[in-house]
Amino acid sequence: MLKAKILFVGPCESGKTVLANFLTESSDITEYSPTQGVRFESCWPALMKDAHGVVIVFNADIPSHRKEMEMWYSCFVQQQSLQDTQCMLIAHHKPGSGDDKGSLSLSPPLNKLKLVHSNLEDDPEEIRMEFLKYLKSIINSMSESRDREEMSIMT
Q: Check which CATH number belongs to the domain holding 111 and give it.
A: 3.40.50.300
For residue range 8-55, list pLDDT tens digits in order.
Answer: 999 998 999 889 989 988 765 555 566 666 668 888 888 899 999 999
Is residue 30 domain-resident?
A: no
Cis-peptide, bond into residue 124, ω within 30° of zero = no
Reading phi first (left if > 0) and then psi (alpha if -120 to 50, else beta), residue 17 is in alpha
**Is this prediction's pTM over 0.85?**
yes
User: Would you say residue 81 lies in a domain?
Assistant: yes
Let me know if residue 31 belongs to a domain: no
Among 12-21, 28-37, 58-67, 73-82, name the most confident range. 73-82
Is residue 155 over pLDDT 90? no
Beta bridge partners of 56: 9, 89
Counted domains in the chain: 1
pLDDT at 104: 78
In a domain, 32, yes or no: no
Q: Give the residue among 97, 96, 125, 120 at the shortest CA–CA distance from 17.
A: 120
Q: Which residue segment(s) compose the domain that 117 sits in?
A: 6-24+37-153
If you write DSSP's letter for every residue of 85-149 in order, what string do you get?
GGEEEEEE--TTS----TT----TTGGGSEEEEE-TTT-HHHHHHHHHHHHHHHHHHHHHHHHHH
At 76, is the pLDDT very low, low, confident or very high (cuts 50, 70, 90)? very high
